Amino acid sequence: MIKSMTAFSRKDKAETNLTLSWEMRTVNHRYLDISLSLPDSFNAYENDLKEIIRSNLGRGKFDAKLTLKQTHTEDSYKIHIDADMVKALKTARQKLEALTKKPMTLSAMEILQWPGVIQEEEKKQASNLPIVKKLLKETLTDLIKMREIEGERLTQLILSRCEIASDIVKTVRERRVEVQLAIREKIIKKIADLDITADNNRLEQELVYQAQRLDVDEELDRLDSHVKEVKSALKSQEPVGRRLDFLMQELNREANTLAAKSNDAQTTKAAVELKVLIEQMREQVMNIE
């Protein structure tokens, strides 16, 4: 199923003594680029959380924020001090005094402010990890549903433009005989205006040369082929954003060649209309995973 790379999702969950939420959004990007904003106590689990995201998404710039709010209880106001860290600070102060031959003071507040002295309740945070992962998966599920809904809308927009492009190609193809006859008559008229007798063999050679130079049958065939490829890709269950982007480039190349070879105002107009349609499709394709 085609998925858009643009979506937003948020989920909140209340547990005993804990309220948490995941908020995430994705936009188009060439690759999968994951950026997480986590509470400090969960930084150690960042790679585990990213792995869950990678298993669910293929492309897009992904930004997510985890918010945790602890419900205050009597235990939540307790300060846990790393006694070994305090002893190490005391030893370091004594060594510094010995080196400088000067007394050094280290206040209680300075000790408490030293990184690592006040312990995070790692075991308690680790016990919350399964809840965090579960909510992450639920939020991702909602995000993916939104990407699928938007992807279906993009699919219909692209398919509608593919049908218009096919109709334009069909119209140009039907006019080719008329255009070739008009070119032939134009060349013959120019020779007649010169009031000279032309060599019939040379004239036929020139007419064949002009017909070959302005022949666009191959371009029309390739345009039809690329449109069919686009329709086929839109039925795929795998990410096809890069393939569709390549097909848009090929369609644009053939439309440019059609315009360059055209010796007919209506064909030129058709080529311009094709280029407009292709650009509209390309803008939609940029958002497809």
pTM equals 0.70
Kindly list the structural domains of the chain, giving each domain's residue range(s) and its CATH number in brackets, ordered by start.
7-74+122-147 (3.30.230), 86-113 (no CATH), 150-285 (1.20.120)
Label residue 230 by pLDDT band (50, 70, 90). very high
At residue 255, what is the residue type? A
**Environment class of 13 (CB within 10 Å of its CB; exposed 0-12, middle 13-18, buried 19+):** middle
pLDDT tens, 12-64? 998 877 889 999 999 999 899 999 999 888 888 999 999 999 999 999 999 99
**pLDDT value at position 253?**
94
What mean pLDDT is predicted for residues 179-205?
A: 63
Distance between CA 3 and CA 137 in Å, rounded?
18
Tokens (6 digits) for 17: 């003594």
Residue 254: which of 278, 234, 236 has the closest Cα?
A: 278
Q: Does the pLDDT of residue 122 top 50, yes or no?
A: no
